[in-house]
């Protein structure tokens, strides 16, 4: 038996797949996966192992921030073991400059992925693309990091991210119509395959788009900064995304927005600035009807999973309404329910920035009191924004996990 064949056979026996389907269990990684890569004959790690995920994400992102590895496994010692193994075999290397630290593929890693899985990685590892010929400027690397963070959030939320498993929506002259059967994320580089269509939105802050069977989202990621938008460019991006969804899938959806961030303080700043001349008009009124604020962590991944499953949202809303009065549809203020005293309640467990801003502004204008309903981990951030007029009511996130995310 050839040594490479024996290596592949040994690997298939030693690998165990610890990844579960629910977002709750995505954080759990048992320290029982074993990899054996002979220096002369490297083999492609099995999918769903941390070894494979690190290589694959680094390939499609160009440079993967080192902190992203923490979101793929809950064990620091295991992460260190995997990174040490991959760097020792020259499949992965660590690049640090200008206070940015990330993983890049080694030459052997690029060759391995191109040869063993060209349908998945050739697009990213050929030519002068940003992911193959990486620029060293901090701005270019920071954009790679921003897209990489988004990829990890999408992966952990259950969205399809690899080219060979997604419908070719943005591939020129691709088969039409494409059927979107499950959530699929397309980064901005994939969207640029459309050529002239994307020239119209050059300079957009969009890092990609998320397509689900029933919805279309433009995705932005500010990381830890307060984002700014060019309204005209982003409006063209919205129209482009709506047209592409219709022409390539035969489904007409008005796109919504998702803003990812590393910290809740960004949302607080955006809502406070919205009361002043610093207001981001694209976020509050001139952009997307719904613009959801989600964090790049486990809570944000779970909310993204929920956003992709409207049937679960319907079940959750129905449960909440059992303890509340039905909404008043003809009120001067939008609401999802009412208290026993008739005060409006806004469901805010999926923070929708324009809707939340309108609700708070209406309460202030009408000199009314109201309430918002959110998950317990969101309460502190929202309470500081709402003031005395708003009562913050909470949903037990642990109970939500047990009811909706735990596999039977």
- pLDDT per position as a tens digit, 1-31: 444 443 443 344 333 333 444 444 444 443 3
Helix (H, G, I), strand (E, B) or coil at 121: helix
Number of H helices, E strands in the chain: 15, 12
* Rounded mean pLDDT, 360-365: 93
- Look at residue 398 in the predicted model and tell me its pLDDT: 96
For the full predicted model, state whether its pTM sits above 0.85.
Answer: yes
Cis peptide before 177 (omega within 30 of 0): yes
pLDDT of residue 174: 64
pLDDT band at 253 (very low <50, low <70, confident <90, very high): confident
Query: How much of the chain, in percent, has pLDDT values that exceed 90?
Result: 68
Nearest Cα to 260, choosing from 230, 303, 289, 231?
Answer: 303
Both tokens of 101, joined, read 């630290």
pLDDT digits (tens, 9 = 90+) for 27-50: 444 333 444 444 445 788 898 899
Beta carbons of 105 and 71 less than 8 angstroms apart: no
Task: Identify whether the C-beta of residue 366 lies closer than 8 Å to the C-beta of residue 391.
Answer: no
pLDDT of the residue at 72? 94
Look at residue 175 in the predicted model and tell me its pLDDT. Answer: 62
- Whole-number Å distance between alpha carbons of 56 and 45: 10
H or E element, residue 219 = strand 216-221
What's the DSSP call for residue 325?
Answer: B
Cα(265)–Cα(224) distance, integer angstroms: 9
Look-up of token digits 């069977």: 213
Residue 3 has a pLDDT of 43
The three-class DSSP label of residue 32 is coil
The predicted model gives 225-251 an average pLDDT of: 91
Please calculate the CA angle 109-115-116 and round it to the nearest 5 degrees. 90
Indicate whether 199 pLDDT > 90: no
CA angle (117, 122, 127) in 5-degree steps: 155
pLDDT for res 127? 84
Which of these, 55, 62, 145, lies nearest to 98 by C-alpha position?
145
Which H/E stretch holds residue 390? Answer: strand 390-395
């Amino acid at each position: 038996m050839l040594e490479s064949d024996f290596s592949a056979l040994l690997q298939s026996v030693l690998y165990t797949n610890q990844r579960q389907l629910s977002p709750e269990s995505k954080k759990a990684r048992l320290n029982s996966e074993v990899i054996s890569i002979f220096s002369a004959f490297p083999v492609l790690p099995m999918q769903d192992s941390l070894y494979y995920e690190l290589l694959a994400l680094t390939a499609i992102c160009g440079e993967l921030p080192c902190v992203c590895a923490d979101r793929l496994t809950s064990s620091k010692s295991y992460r260190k073991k995997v990174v040490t193994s991959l760097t020792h075999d020259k499949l992965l290397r660590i690049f640090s400059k200008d206070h940015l630290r990330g993983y890049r593929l080694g030459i052997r890693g690029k060759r391995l992925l191109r040869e063993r899985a060209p349908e998945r990685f050739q697009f990213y590892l050929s030519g002068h693309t940003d992911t193959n010929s990486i620029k060293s400027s901090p701005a270019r690397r920071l954009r790679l990091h921003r897209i990489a963070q988004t990829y990890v959030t999408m992966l952990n939320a259950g969205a399809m991210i690899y080219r060979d498993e997604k419908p070719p929506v943005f591939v020129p002259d691709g088969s039409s119509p494409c059927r979107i059967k499950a959530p699929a994320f397309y980064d901005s580089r994939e969207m640029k395959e459309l050529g002239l269509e994307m020239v119209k939105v050059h300079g957009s802050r969009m890092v990609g788009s998320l397509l689900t069977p029933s919805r279309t989202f433009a995705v932005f990621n500010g990381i830890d900064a307060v984002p700014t938008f060019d309204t005209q460019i982003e409006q063209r991006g919205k129209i482009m995304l709506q047209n592409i969804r219709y022409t390539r899938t035969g489904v007409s959806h008005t796109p919504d927005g998702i803003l990812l961030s590393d910290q809740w303080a960004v949302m607080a700043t955006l809502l406070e600035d919205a009361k002043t001349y610093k207001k981001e008009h694209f976020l509050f009124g001139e952009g997307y009807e719904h613009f959801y604020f989600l964090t790049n962590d486990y809570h944000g991944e779970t909310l993204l999973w929920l956003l992709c499953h409207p049937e679960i949202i319907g079940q959750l809303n129905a449960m909440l309404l059992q303890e509340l009065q039905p909404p008043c549809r003809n009120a001067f203020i939008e609401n999802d329910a009412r208290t026993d005293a008739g005060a409006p309640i806004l469901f805010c467990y999926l923070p929708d920035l324009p809707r939340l801003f309108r609700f708070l502004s209406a309460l202030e204008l009408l000199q009314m009191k109201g309430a918002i309903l959110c998950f317990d981990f969101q309460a502190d951030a929202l309470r500081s924004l709402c003031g005395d007029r708003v009562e913050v009511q909470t949903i037990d996130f642990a109970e939500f996990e047990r009811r909706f995310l735990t596999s039977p």
